[in-house]
Structure 1
Amino acid sequence: MHPFEKVLSVSIEDIEFEFNGQSPIEWSSFLLNPRRLRGSDFLMRWSQGVWSEERIVLAVNQTKEFFAIPYGPSSTAPDDDVRAFELYFERLEAAGLGAIKRPDLLIFRKTDQSAIEKLVSNLGGAAELPFKVEEDKNMQGILSKAIIAVECENSLWKAAMMPDYGTELRPQKRLEGKLGLKKSAVLPTIIVKEEDREPLQTWQDINNVPIHVWHVFFDMAFGISLDKTQRLIEDGFILPTEQTFQAPGGATTKKSLYKLYYHYGYPLGDANEEPSLVAKSITDKNGHILPYVHFKGGTMILRAEALKILRELANG
């Protein structure tokens, strides 16, 4: 699957809108490449992903101890122009780098900020990082100072309002007596895709930088280390869930993912200002309008538990 389609794939369960009663339109007639932008859900997914990663970077950078930079392709790509976003991934694919998996963010000690910014500048700026091999001396300089790498996930839910938020884990028959909740429970989880487990583990082993998964909800966020994630899965505490994903081009694929109960992670942050949901749209050359919801603003403050983990990693 093309990397652009992969990053914007949406779970079938999350698709909100279906347009009926409209005759088919040839995708070649669209100004934007339509195999990628079929409708509002994918545009909203793009906006939602940009928003959640920006909230994390801002929260980290507001501390006096740490700062974050975008590192993976979805984080370094243009964030204010969907066409530029598309072309960025076309360039990545043309360079033969579309299949490379890297964490979304890198976090450093604040005292290293000037040195890191100089190394990033030497490489042509943050947008060029995915196009550089990690054996490059400047890339090695960046990675040698990273205290943690972050894989970002997000969900369009208010975690505190989910029905089973706050419910204690209990022994479950399907988990052979291990703690868990019923399969139908609705609560905050930290999502890790099966297809990402091995590439992320390989990256962590090669670069000796610990990876954590940070999952942002509308009102709060949770984190968990990749090491703990792997142990929970391998020991049978979390079973895979199969979901059908639809890419912007229309293709559907079944993927296994793991929904880790937030109980196993740590509180990452709380929203102290909610974002605004702004109506936006794009229009093709035939006048066909695709409306979508754009996420704007909002701030998050890191929890003491998250800062404690960052300090431990920085001093380790």
Structure 2
Amino acid sequence: MESYSKIISSICSKIHTGLVDFREPRSEASMPTQASSEFITNKQQGDWAEDLLFRAINENSDAIVAVRYGKSDDLVAGDEGFETFFHDYQNELDTIGKRPDLLLFHKADYNEALGLDISRHTSAEIHEYVKKAIAGIEVRSSAFLIDKYMQEANRIIEYHTNLALSLKQTIRSDYQDLLKEKRPELITILNQLDSTSVRSIDFRLTSWRSSERLEQLSSCLCKLKSSLKVIQKRNSLSITPKVEDLKVVKKWIDTYDVPHFYVQVFFDKVYGISFKNILELISQPDLEGEKYYIEADSKNQNKTTIKIPSQDGTCLVTKSLTEPNHHSVRKELNKGRLLFYVKFEGGEACLDKRAFDTLFGCNL
């Protein structure tokens, strides 16, 4: 049977090198010189998401143990010791790859002496133990209530669909003669326009000003095109692996041959997808813009990010999460600079056992 790492390597060989070239070494990261309140708040949110999943697994499973594994130092740029921490982390990325946040072990393989947190152990100390894991999980977080987001997105799509169909009728009834004269191909496009095709139909816009009726027709077509753009733009929240992480995740898989997964935690739902599935998607260029999107993420220092609609992943929580408590924290950096950020604590998640078992291939 072919090993997991070889399966991953085979898929990677099919991915366009313009997106990521796995044959080339990773780009060297620049050390940040200054942290911001927003950065630390986002980090705290990520730590909370990891803790939520960690507790949800360990409090509800008789067969599986989740262990903290990813680098979890609280140092940020501006703290004493951060430079050493940063360089040690970069060296580890080149040696074993990027540690996932959590490891899953069968209870029989769990080492009680090492405990539930092995994040501060060197890779050499736990090398053989990590190989026994059944899964590594990279936890991502998103400050949204996905149900409310989708409810509003669906409302907007319904509104613009109705508007587009209404404009279609107006144009056909009031300006058919002008279309026959100026743009006869638009008649065919309008005839094809319905509540389904609004998600794919497009046309080139022309502006006329030589008569009042032509101006009115131009205005209707402009409004129609605007509504189609709203309907067709990406309107879902996403699972968000960064392109720059793909190489170091693969490096970790090459080192340990352990299946890898991404889990995206929202404030009311949790979705997961396998790293293998992510690679399979981006190896198919024809699926870009439909099953995945590649964008520079302004909320993440404009790093290129793969965005996979959450609903295309596996929903691991079918009941709403209990939101965490939160409070403000004051942090003083070594030169007396003050930062204020939000800390998250608590919250509960009820995992869907069947969905968990299906995604990770093990019994919760």
TM-score, normalised to structure 2's length? 0.60
What is the CA–CA distance in structure 1 between the aligned matches of 2:102 and 2:41, rounded to whole Å?
Answer: 21
SS in 2 for 1:117: coil
Structure 1, unpaired ranges of 5+? 6-34, 175-180, 247-251
Counterpart AA for 1:141: Y
Q: Which has the higher strand share?
A: 1
Question: SS where residue 56 of structure 2 aligns?
Answer: helix
The answer to which of 300-309 and 260-269 deviates more is: 300-309
Aligned pairs for 1:30-179 within 5 A: 35-37=33-35, 39-63=36-60, 64-73=62-71, 76-78=72-74, 87=81, 90-91=84-85, 93-94=87-88, 96-97=91-92, 100-113=97-110, 116-118=111-113, 120=114, 126-129=118-121, 131-133=122-124, 138-144=126-132, 146-162=133-149, 163-164=152-153, 173=200
Tell me if structure 2 keeps the 8 A contact 1:164–1:185: no
Deviation at 1:104, TM superposition (A): 1.6
The answer on whether the counterparts of 1:155 and 1:216 sit within 8 Å (CA) in structure 2 is yes
5 Å matches for 1:212-223?
212-223=261-272
Contact 2:135 2:360 in 1 (8 A): no
Q: Residue 271 of structure 2 contacts residue 313 of structure 2 at CA under 8 Å; is this kept in 1?
A: yes
Would you say the 8 A contact 1:71–1:126 is kept in 2? yes
What is the distance in 2 between the residues matched to 1:193 and 1:182? 26
Distance 2:331 2:51 in 1: 22
Structure having the higher helix fraction is: 2
Q: CA deviation at 1:212?
A: 0.9
Offset at residue 62 of structure 1 (A): 0.9
For 1:93 and 1:288, the matched residues in 2 are separated by 23
1:2–1:93 CA contact under 8 A, matched in 2: no
Give % identity.
23
**C-alpha displacement of 1:291:** 1.9
Shift of 1:218: 0.9
Q: For residue 50 of structure 1, report the CA deviation from its aligned partner.
A: 1.1
Looking at CA atoms only, which structure, 1 or 2, has the larger radius of gyration? 2
Give 2:4's aligned residue: none
For 1:180-199, what aligned pairs fall within 5 Å after superposition? Answer: 184-199=233-248
Which whole-Å CA distance do the structure 1 matches of 2:305 and 2:86 have between them? 26
Q: CA deviation at 1:197?
A: 1.7
Q: Which residue of 1 aligns with 2:260?
A: 211
Q: Contact between 2:46 and 2:141, CA under 8 Å: does it hold in 1?
A: yes
- For 2:313, the equivalent position in structure 1 comes to 265
In the TM superposition, what whole-angstrom CA distance separates every residue of 1:144-173 from its partner, at most 9, and x where no partner exists? 2x11110111011111110337999x7865
The amino acid of 1:91's aligned partner reads: F
Asked if 2 retains the 8 angstrom alpha-carbon contact of 1:3 and 1:89, the reply is: no
Inter-CA distance 242–183: structure 2 relative to 1 (3 Å threshold): farther
What whole-Å deviation, never above 9, does each CA across 1:190-247 have from its counterpart, x for those lacking one?
Answer: 111111123223422442211110000111110001111111121223231122466x
- Segment drifting more, 62-71 vs 52-61: 62-71
CA contact (8 A) 1:3 1:98 kept: no
SS of 2:358 mapped into structure 1: helix
CA distance in 2, matches of 1:89, 1:112: 35
Name the CA distance, whole Å, in 2 between partners of 1:57 and 1:218: 15
Shift of residue 184 of structure 1?
3.6
Q: Within the alignment, does 1:255 sit opposite 2:244 as a pair?
A: no
Matched position secondary structure for 2:127: helix
The CA distance in 2 between the partners of 1:117 and 1:4, in whole Å, is 36
| Structure 1 residue aligned with 2:297 | 243
Task: Answer yes or no: is the 8 Å Cα contact 1:41–1:292 preserved in 2.
Answer: yes
Deviation at 1:309, TM superposition (A): 2.4
